Structures are given as structure tokens and as C-alpha cells.
Amino acid sequence: MSSETEATLVRVEPESTPSACIIWLHGLGADGYDFEPIIPYLKLPKSSAVRFLFPHAEVMPVTVNGGAPMRAWYDILEMNVGRKVDKPTLIASSERIQRLIDEQIAEGIPADKILLAGFSQGGAVAYHAALTYPKSLAGLVALSTYMATAEEIKLQRQSSNYQIPIWVAHGERDEVVQLALGEQALTTLKGMNYNALWTTYPMGHEVVMEEIEALGCWMAQQLKL
């Protein structure tokens, strides 16, 4: 029985027994329901049996929100380009997602059929969770995000995911997570010899249909649907 309950995530099951899983992490202040509506727009093959999991972040005080509590994967201390964050909480959230991956494997879905995606804050957690996971995953998607734990990833990254396919996308007019932060993450990935596909869109801090459809094609390819 999964330790992640309906109170901690949104679970969308396929009609048949799942053979693949996409775990998708929301951004600051949102919840697991945020990205559930995009599933049909990914246009994955109708014959595919993909389980979608959209975990809810914990509710915690967020410094840049005046200390008011909201759903967050970690505290953000400063919103400058340096993006000062509470790394221990980010890493704890990453470990929670890795346990969720472990649970999917225990339920019969192979690691190489599990894909991790994250938007904004969720993307920073996805970077850490995927690149430090000890089994080869199907892919990593980083949307409108940044790499907040680059130094930790360099020390803890696992050879099992040196070749992980990575899809990175960012808005050219993003005023929340500046384009420079996405580019900085890409430079860091290349410096560690990861092969990442980078795409920008004429948008702000959001996702657009063109992006979602392109992402769906990429996901289907990585999961061999």
C-alpha cells in the first residue's frame, strides 16, 4: 500500500494496468491539481497506460511571501537572481519524491518507465531528485525553473542518471523566474556533461499549448509509448 495518500497527491490512473508513470511537481502556492487538466493536451497515445501523480507540497511559512503559510517545496529567502533558498527543506522534498519513485517501482513500474517533471519551485526539486536518484529514470522535465542545489547535485549525482534525457523550457518574458536563471541551470547541466534539450517560448511564468504539445511528444518518445 502506498504511503502517499489522496490527501498528499492527485492520482490519475489509466484504464488498464499502468506500465509507466509521470510524477509532476507544481510551483509555489499551487497544489497537485494545478497541472492535472493538461493531461489530455499532452496527446499521449490512447493505448498508453500511464499513471500520473501530482503530489501536493507541504504548507509552510514562506519568507518572500511575508512569512505567510502556503504550499511550498521549500522556503525562498530572497527573490533576487541568486535565489537564496532553504536547501535542507528542498533536499527533504526531493527525498520525499524519491520515496514516491521507490513506491512506483515496488508496485511494478520499472524505474526506466518513470518520468519526473516540475514547474518553477517543483522543477528545482525535480532537478535534485532525478539527478541524485540511484536508478536510471526515463527522463527529467524542468519547466520555468532553476537549479537551486547545483553544488549538492555535483557531489551527490548518480552515474545511473548521467545519460538521463532532459527537457528544459522557459518563458522569454518570465518575470518570476528570470530567463537567466534557466540559462544558468542549462550551463550547469552542460558543465556536468548532461545532454539537455532547451526551448524558450514567448511567454511569462506559465505554460502554453505549443509547449505542452511538444512536451507530450517528447514524453511519449522517452517512455516508448
pLDDT at 1: 38
Position of cell 520515496?
99
HEC letters along 74-96: CCECCCCCCCCECHHHHHHHHHH
Active site residue 93: no
The predicted model scores a pTM of 0.95
Amino acid at 196: A
Position of cell 503530489?
55
pLDDT at 4: 66
Q: Which residue of the set 93, 120, 128, 144 is catalytic?
A: 120
pLDDT at 3: 63
pLDDT at 198: 97
Helix, strand or coil, per DSSP, at residue 35: coil
pLDDT at 146: 95
Q: How do beta strands 50-55 and 9-12 pair?
A: antiparallel
Asked: is 9-222 a CATH 3.40.50.1820 domain? The reply is yes
Ordered mean pLDDT values, 10 residues apiece, the chain (225 residues): 72 95 97 96 93 97 92 88 85 97 97 98 98 98 96 95 97 95 96 96 97 97 93
As a whole number of angstroms, the distance between CA 76 and CA 6 comes to 27
Q: Which residue of the set 31, 34, 75, 174 is catalytic?
A: 174
The answer to whether the beta carbons of residues 161 and 136 sit under 8 Å apart is: yes
Task: List all residues 6 or more positions away from 141 whose beta carbon is below 8 Å from its beta carbon.
Answer: 115, 116, 117, 118, 123, 126, 166, 167, 168, 215, 218, 219
As a whole number of angstroms, the distance between CA 132 and CA 87 comes to 15
pLDDT at 115: 98
